[in-house]
A and B are shown apart, each in its own frame.
Chain A
Amino acid sequence: MSLSWMNEDGLKMKFETRNTTYFIFAWLLCGCCVLFLFGFTLQDDPKWASYLDAIDAENDPIEKVERILDIAYYALDYHPDSTLKYADLAYETSRKAGHLKGMISVEVLKGIFARSQKQFDQAIKHYETAISLNEPLENELRAAQIKDNLANVFVMQGKLEKAINLKEEALNVFEEEQDTTSIYIGLLGIGALLNDKGDYQNASKYFKSSLIFAKTNRDKAYSYGNIGISHRHQNQPDSAIYYYRKGIDIYPDEPIHLARAYNNIAILQKSENQFAEALASFEKAETAAKPLGNESFIASIQINRAFLFTQMGEHQKAAELIKASGPVIDSTGSLKEKTDLMKVRYQVAKSQGNDEDALAHYQSFIYLRDSIDNLDLNTRIADFEAKYETAEKEKQIAEQEAEIQQRINQRNLLLGGLAGVIWFATFAILFFWNRNRMNKVITHQELELQDQKISQLEQEKRFLSISSMLEGQENERMRIAQDLHDGIGGLLSSVKAHFSVIQKEIEKIESYQLSERVESLIDEASSEVRRISHNMAPRAIRLNGLKAAIQDLAAQLQEAGQAKVDFEWNGSGNEIPETKEIMLYRIIQELTNNIIKHAQASHVLIQVNMFDDDLNLIVEDDGVGFDLHTALAQKSLGLKSIRSRVDFLDGKLDFDSRKGAGTTVSVQVPV
């Protein structure tokens, strides 16, 4: 398979003009951005100040600890670098005041922080410390909450089984303690894990149970959304959309739920090939998410949209989308998002004729795909995080305004620092790119090899799927034949029986002709059902074996045509599995049908020879013959289906036929 953009000259031109312009423009833009936005500092956060004030205003040590924890949790979300500073402060204050509960809370916070930094072993240590600190307090509920948090670490490590077991333990305690908030969160968490495992049916049960314990409309909306996802995975799009919409209806105020719901609806529409609707829903999702300013969230939606664009062939639009969202996903995205992004990048690079990048992206994509961990936007554990530590459940999402600030600040700092260096680097890069054009040729070849390998794999896949298609076809036919025969056939014979009983009475009233007519209609229907069922599937094989079934075919052939038919079966002893028997029967059926339809033969030989390790089938007629090449082009002789079947049996097929000189078909099949 040749890649259409492999024209060297065209490549040169495209590459030079398009990419050079792109980079000059990009760096110009960067330079401007830096100058424009360089002014902002970290401390430009009004909420931060109010938290600090609250701490200063508090004199009671235990309350003070609570206030410090407040700011520490806020920092966790918006100023992560400051988190540990306040955590340690809270710890010191608690220790001095002998406030064990405070110390426990700090350990849990540190656990959550370590987890968010992907320091899993550290996180586990903190949770274990919290659990042992809690022991003397004998607070079962607290212990269970800590365990539930600990389970989230296992999830991020990919240890789903372990996580589910721990969460179920915790849930049992929640139920004993009748803490409805914890039960709600527990059920959601387990449901999400089951989703990740692919156990959608059970996930759905947990989500539906969580509805019962959902207190606020927001919580209910969340549960509905997740129920929708489970239904989508179980290929029940109608139910999925029903629950997504229910989620939107019950809590339309909160942007993040709206965004999630529309995102889910879009994914569903995409999988149903409703591309235009899916695009519209993605846009609704983005619109809903914009006021949040949560970049990673918006980026996730954009990746979905870009993915859809590549599927629709609109690579330019995809490229534009991933310009902004790409870097965000690279730093904060889940494995699945990164994988999708890499795939989009590969498609875009390929469509732009950018071979080197395309190859690199493809390799990254393969690498990521193999280490995928299944967490996607909607089941990210972080969203379920139970903030047991705060008095009331923090509505973190509502405070996203501050996050815009913070992210822009950070990015600008980076840009500011790098701008000068990159300015100079640009010219150097442009110079080297000219050199690199030579490498394009090699990359072409590598990419072509990749594509060849892909098409080879696809061919193998196609062969496998034809095999399974054939088997599936036979199973299907057997089923239909059975249903026809038993179902309708049985009903018809019952109708006949009933009619028969009252026939004489009818004849006394109505004319004899009418009742005769009814009877013959019923008979005709019966024999039609028999005929169709018989053609559908050779049910006689099950009763009497392949030899008898072929005998029937031979007899049919003799009846139908004016030909004399010889049937010979030589050898025995080899057990042939039923699927193979049916395939062989089909091949002979197809061949004899051809003879009836076209051959005008007067003599036919059907011969089956059973040798030690293979079976040889010969069907020969002295009819008009055919030209192989024209026959292959036509569909009427079913030669392709005969070939598929012979391939399925790993056999060899030979047609020996000439116009006016008869036909000999030879099939050899290992047994």
Chain B
Amino acid sequence: MKKQKDIRVLLVDDHQIVLDGIQLMLDHADGIECAGTVLSGKEALTTLRNKQVDVVLLDIEMPEMNGIECCKLIYQHFPDIKVIALTMMIERSVIQSMLEAGAQGYLIKNTSQDELMKAIQLVYSGSTYYSGEVSQKIMQENPGEPSKNSFPKISRREKEILKLIIDERTTNEIAEQLFISAGTVETHRRNIMKKLGARNTAGIVRIVIENKLI
């Protein structure tokens, strides 16, 4: 028979006002017990060594040790303890970092009591929980990472210029044809050279032909 005991939750946030608010919600929640509140990642790790905790609600932006680092450490030293990020940051890169660090949940701080309870219960039982906004962000298509050749991708404009370079046009001729200044042509040429690792125009031509870049 499953023993029904309250889920023990540790709150970690560097703002006391947030801790008080979340604690208030936990106190009114059935089946969940607030195991403590700490103001830093360091204190959190110490507490986890000495107390029995099931779920950690972890803020991300904290001085000295941020949530991502703390989450990694919890995952490393206390693999059974589940972590839910509780934050106001919804930047994609941050969500990704937290998930990669081992968080099973990601909640926005303006969560309601119901959502908080649901998240804790789901994560405790082994599932994941992301609040609505967060799911949307994760669902968004990643900006494409063009397939990596050995060279950075040549931009559309650079390709146009490259064609004319291969045709042995001079800078001024290219400028006239494309209706841009000679300075701009030179900027493009220089960028192309750096990307291809060529030392001069001849080098550009050689590399382009060898690698069939156009």
Contact = CB atoms under 8 A, between A and B. Distances in A.
Contacts of A513: none
Interface in B75-101: 88-94, 96-97
A276 B81 CA distance: 73
B213 to A, nearest CB: 15
Contact of B184 (A486, A489, A501, A654): A654
Given A489-B88, A543-B68, A564 B144 contact: yes
A637 to B, nearest CB: 17
B141 interface: yes
Contact of B194 (A500, A557, A616): A616
Nearest to A548: B93
A605 B140 CA distance: 18
B144 A566 contact: yes
Nearest to B69: A543
A490 B143 contact: no
A490 B14 CA distance: 11
A555 B142 contact: yes
Contacts, number: 164
Contact of B155 (A494, A498, A620): A620
Interface string A591-611: 000000000000101110101
Contacts of A570: 152
Nearest to B88: A489
B144 A548 contact: no
Contact of A522 (B96, B110, B194): B110
B112 interface: yes
Contacts of A611: 194
How would you classify the secondary structure of chain A's contact residues: helix, strand, loop or mixed?
A: helix
Interface stretch (B2-10, B19-27, B37-45, B162-170): B19-27
A539 B92 CA distance: 12
Contact of B61 (A493, A498, A543, A605): A543
A497 B156 contact: no
Interface stretch (A78-86, A172-180, A656-664): A656-664
Contact of A498 (B21, B180, B187, B190): B21
A567 B194 contact: no
A573 to B, nearest CB: 15
B159 to A, nearest CB: 11
B122 interface: no
Interface in A519-535: 519, 522-523, 526-527, 529-530, 534
B140 A540 contact: no
B72 interface: no
Contacts of B68: 543-544
Interface of B: 15, 17-18, 20-22, 24-25, 28, 60-61, 66, 68, 88-94, 96-97, 108-114, 133, 137, 140-146, 152-153, 155-158, 179-180, 183-184, 187-188, 190-191, 194-195
18 contacts: A494-B18, A495-B21, A527-B133, A530-B88, A540-B93, A543-B61, A543-B93, A543-B94, A548-B96, A551-B93, A552-B92, A564-B144, A607-B153, A609-B191, A609-B195, A618-B155, A620-B156, A656-B188
